[in-house]
């Protein structure tokens, strides 16, 4: 569920494009906007993928889900600051694997977070992450192993459960602490679904110092987040901030 911005945005090149006023205004408007991710394209990709393992406890049903989404993200550096609203829909792709599953959260075409989980009898561990964040095609799209793979969440969390640890996401050191803080019921597909709110506070070190807080309304019966808030701040020579709220639209994925 939790992904980290792995390298600073390299947005300086945008300045070179602003020499012509008309083109500069157009480019600036594009740089400050997000392109909605396509659920139709995601379904086509899912159908064209390699056959996946049979689903099992702790592994959500494979397919393409959508979240209602609200929020904004800002990136900057060297005197440049670009801010854009997130699209009103995010695409969430779950692909079961032989030892767990892969999740891909497409906030937009410009911002994608992907995690591969290994699931055992009790917990899901994050083994690998991909983070793509671009502004006007400039930015980063990078993959990183997680060493050692941290516990992302218990399969059946109980209020009061805590877990924490340290690991490296590629070259970036990460420390985190998580807790199952309360129970709530969320309406989904016209019925109430029991959820446990999981709060994770993470801190990254150089070369990308920053913090991130995720609150996930985790539905054990579905092995899915039914609601998700993200607050992230990355500093250094370049910056990236994000504030997003996502609400799952249906427990039934498109396949």
In the predicted model, is pLDDT for residue 16 greater than 50?
no
Q: Is 80 exposed, middle or buried (0-12, 13-18, 19+ CB in 10 A)?
A: middle
Q: How far is CA 232 from CA 97, 157, 181, in A?
A: 29, 24, 20
Distance of CA 1 to the CA centre of its chain: 6
Q: How confident is the model at residue 12 (pLDDT cuts 50, 70, 90)?
A: very low
Rounded average pLDDT over 231-255? 93
Q: How confident is the model at residue 29 (pLDDT cuts 50, 70, 90)?
A: low
Per-residue pLDDT tens digits for 164-183: 999 999 999 999 999 999 99
For Cα atoms 128, 169, 177, give the angle at the middle one, nearest 5 degrees: 100
Q: What is the pTM of this model?
A: 0.87
For Cα atoms 109, 115, 119, give the angle at the middle one, nearest 5 degrees: 150
Q: In angstroms, rounded to a whole number, what is the distance separating the alpha carbons of residues 163 and 36?
A: 35
Q: Specify the pLDDT at position 28.
A: 46
User: Measuring CA to CA, which residue among 174, 234, 200 is closest to residue 7?
Assistant: 234
Q: Specify the pLDDT at position 191.
A: 96
In the predicted model, is pLDDT for residue 225 greater than 80?
yes
């Amino acid at each position: 569920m939790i992904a980290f911005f792995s390298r600073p945005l390299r947005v300086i090149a945008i300045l070179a494009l602003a020499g012509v006023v008309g083109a500069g205004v157009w480019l600036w408007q594009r740089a400050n906007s997000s392109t909605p991710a396509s659920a139709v394209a995601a379904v086509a990709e899912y159908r064209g993928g390699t056959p996946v393992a049979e689903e099992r406890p702790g592994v959500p049903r494979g397919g393409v889900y959508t979240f209602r989404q609200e929020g904004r993200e800002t990136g900057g550096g060297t005197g440049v600051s670009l801010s854009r609203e997130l699209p009103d829909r995010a695409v969430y792709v779950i692909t079961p694997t032989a030892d767990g599953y892969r999740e891909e959260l497409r906030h937009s075409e410009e911002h994608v977070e992907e995690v591969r989980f290994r699931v055992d009898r009790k917990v899901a561990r994050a083994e690998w992450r991909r983070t793509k964040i671009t502004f006007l095609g400039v930015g980063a799209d990078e993959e990183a192993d997680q060493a050692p793979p941290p516990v992302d969440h218990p399969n059946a969390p109980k209020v009061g459960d805590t877990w924490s640890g340290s690991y490296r996401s590629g070259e970036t050191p990460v420390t985190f602490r998580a807790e199952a803080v309360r129970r709530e019921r969320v309406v989904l597909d016209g019925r109430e679904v029991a959820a446990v709110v999981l709060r994770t506070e993470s801190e990254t070190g150089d070369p990308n110092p920053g913090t991130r807080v995720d609150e996930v309304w985790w539905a054990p019966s579905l092995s899915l987040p039914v609601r998700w808030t993200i607050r992230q701040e990355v500093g250094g020579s370049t910056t990236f901030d994000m504030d997003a709220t996502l609400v799952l639209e249906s427990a039934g994925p498109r396949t």
